[in-house]
Structure 1
Amino acid sequence: MPVPTPRLIWSSIALGAGGVVLLSIGLTEWFNLHPCHLCIFQRLLFMILAVLALTAALFATGRGGRILGFAVALTAAAGLATALYQSFLERQPPSMDFSCVGAEPTLIERLVERLGEWQPLLFLATGFCDEMGPQFLGLSLANAALVGFLMALIAAVAALMRHGQAPNVQPRRDAI
């Protein structure tokens, strides 16, 4: 069984991340969801992931491809950490004093607010991070994003490990 090339892996990550962004926008509109700052930040990270992975797929050779690959892995890791934090917030009982909204806006909240002013359809945050929201197959949307970022991170590490290796070419049996 042939092993996928880094270019194919980067393309798959780009396609998957782009699909997640479109699905996120569609679900928000269709089900009148109110995404929180962390949800919007994860959407932004999936957008960045799609662009970086597509660029890595186009320029998958040489040192530049490796640098882009590390950027993809770093973005996926940041998304994984964000989704993990949001999943933690969702699981806290209402009596606990955990919230994603503090007295002083964080860097993520300020970024999301600015982006929401610029492009409300994509980046307007109107919900709270500690509310679970709808579930699909027992997963909240934050849990589903966690799985998506984890898969992207694993794929990026696999592509980085394959980067620079000679393609797996099987010798012909009829060659003498």
Structure 2
Amino acid sequence: MRISDRGIFGGLAAVSLGLLAGGLALGEAFRLQPCYWCNFQRFLYMVLACVGLAGALLPRWRRPWALLAALAALGGVLAAGEQSWMQYAPQNAVECGFGDPTLVERLVDWLGSVWPSMFMVTGLCKDKDWVFLGLSLANWSGVCFCVLFGVSLWALFRRPVR
């Protein structure tokens, strides 16, 4: 059975929205305070959902949508990796929000001013408040972004369904 391009991109959008909703639900249930990297990952899940929706609606542009999805997912892998490293070696990491703001911090601050209930930074990046099976939420997000990156690459390089 071959999966259509619409199915792949629709699934990418649905999974991204599901992961975003799951992260928000975990945050509410366990009173987790989001940091800069958490909020940047939220933003990337939204970008992936939008790209997935665009790919499902305009499947003839499969390669550009898949490339954009792969870049967003790779950004998520890097963001989750940075946060995971900060949680693993907090003594070696400079906490977000201290010192000159980075591009990510500026973007998240702007998003927080536009949509505070979604992007307001209230936590520290080094905090590891929730752990499941030995992995923090940042670690799990990294795993999910790796899977989404793999699916995006598959969509980019596979033969189109005729």
Q: TM-score range by the shorter chain?
A: over 0.9
- Counterpart in 2 of 1:101? 97
Alignment partners' CA distance in 2, 1:69 and 1:95: 38
Alignment size in residue pairs: 162
Note the residue ranges of structure 1 that are not aligned, 5 or more in a row: 168-176
- Counterpart in 1 of 2:157? 161
- Counterpart in 2 of 1:83? 80
Q: Runs of at least 4 residues of structure 1 off by over 6 A? A: none
Task: Output one character per residue of 1:73-95: Cα deviation in whole Å (capped at 9) or x when no partner.
Answer: 11001111111111111100x44
Q: Deviation of residue 3 (structure 1)? A: 3.2
* SS in structure 1 of the partner of residue 59 of structure 2: coil
CA RMSD across the alignment: 1.5
Q: Deviation of residue 98 (structure 1)? A: 3.6
- Counterpart in 1 of 2:147? 151
* SS in structure 1 of the partner of residue 62 of structure 2: helix
Residue identity matched to 1:31: F
Q: Normalising by structure 1, report the TM-score.
A: 0.85
Instruction: Confirm or deny that 1:51 pairs with 2:47.
Output: no
- Counterpart in 2 of 1:72? 69
- Counterpart in 2 of 1:17? 16
Please say which of residues 118-127 and 99-108 is displaced more in the overlay. Answer: 99-108
Q: Normalising by structure 2, report the TM-score.
A: 0.92
Taking a change above 3 Å as real, the CA distance of residues 133 and 5 of structure 1, as seen in their structure-2 partners, is: same
Q: Deviation of residue 111 (structure 1)? A: 1.4
Taking a change above 3 Å as real, the CA distance of residues 161 and 125 of structure 1, as seen in their structure-2 partners, is: same
Alignment partners' CA distance in 2, 1:159 and 1:118: 33
Matched-pair identity in %: 36
Note the residue ranges of structure 2 that are not aligned, 5 or more in a row: none
